[in-house]
């Protein structure tokens, strides 16, 4: 069931749900709708429905099941395709991926599709509510441990060349990008380069824009690939 868009502008976090199990969708709706600052504006059972309904409803957060249309480990990652498509149409939309399986490949694909967070369905209800609030505020739900797993996923022989947008970065921006790829926080980068933390934050925002990515971890992946490509092989 979809809710009319009139609830926009009243301060509520507008949420859309995608899951191919009706019981799961109902459970999520019951959980989230009881929060005073949240409202579920619609849901869908498959990718086609989601792609048709979300642009019209304009939610703030889409909670997307990673695996749709099949069961168990053989299910596809169609929810990640939905994330990528919705983010292309609605850049301000925060996508929170929900899955039953701790899958590094799906995690990597979700992050590169622009997901703001990735949580397991075994999560406590209160933690899921907190995750929705986090991504709705523009923050990421990706912990340093998750970021490390993503970076390890791209390490390997013959990584692809970096995107052409790298040529647009200044030497200082390349330096900052390298430190982002090394896992340093804004404060640590500021201390390392003798800059104000606000300056580092602004520089990173500019780097993300030039690289045409939305998330810091996506920039870190690019930096890791570039570092692997440029480092000479060990003798």
Separation between Cα atoms, residue 215 and residue 115, nearest integer Å: 8
Please determine, for residue 134, whether its predicted confidence score (pLDDT) is greater than 70.
Answer: yes
The per-residue pLDDT for 6 is: 46
Q: What is the pLDDT of residues 80-132, one digit of tens each?
A: 889 989 988 898 999 999 887 777 777 878 887 888 888 888 889 999 999 99
The pTM score is: 0.63
> What average pLDDT score do residues 20-40 get?
94
DSSP states of 176-215 as a string? HHHHHHTT--HHHHHHHHT--HHHHHHHHHHHHHHHT-SS
Q: At what angle do helices 171-181 and 197-211 cross, to 10 degrees?
A: 90
């Amino acid at each position: 069931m979809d809710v009319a868009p009139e609830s926009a502008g009243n301060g509520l976090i507008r949420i859309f749900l995608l899951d191919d199990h009706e019981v799961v969708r109902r459970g999520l709706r019951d959980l989230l709708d009881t929060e005073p600052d949240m409202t579920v504006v619609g849901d869908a059972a498959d990718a086609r429905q989601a792609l048709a309904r979300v642009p019209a409803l304009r939610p703030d957060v889409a909670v997307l099941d990673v695996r749709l249309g099949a069961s168990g480990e053989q299910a596809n990652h169609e929810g990640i395709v939905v994330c990528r498509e919705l983010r292309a149409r609605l850049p301000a939309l925060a996508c929170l991926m929900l899955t039953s399986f701790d899958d590094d490949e799906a995690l990597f694909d979700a992050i590169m599709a622009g997901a703001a967070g990735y949580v397991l369905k075994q999560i406590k209800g209160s933690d899921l509510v907190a995750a929705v609030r986090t991504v709705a505020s523009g923050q990421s739900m990706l912990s340093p441990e998750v970021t490390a797993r993503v970076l390890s996923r791209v390490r390997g022989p013959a990584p692809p060349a970096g995107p052409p947008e790298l040529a647009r970065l200044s030497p200082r921006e390349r330096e900052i990008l390298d430190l982002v790829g090394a896992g340093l926080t804004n404060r640590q980068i500021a201390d390392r380069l003798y800059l104000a933390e606000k300056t580092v934050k602004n520089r990173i925002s500019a780097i993300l824009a030039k690289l045409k990515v939305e998330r810091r971890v996506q920039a870190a992946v690019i930096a890791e690939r570039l570092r692997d490509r440029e480092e000479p092989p060990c003798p």
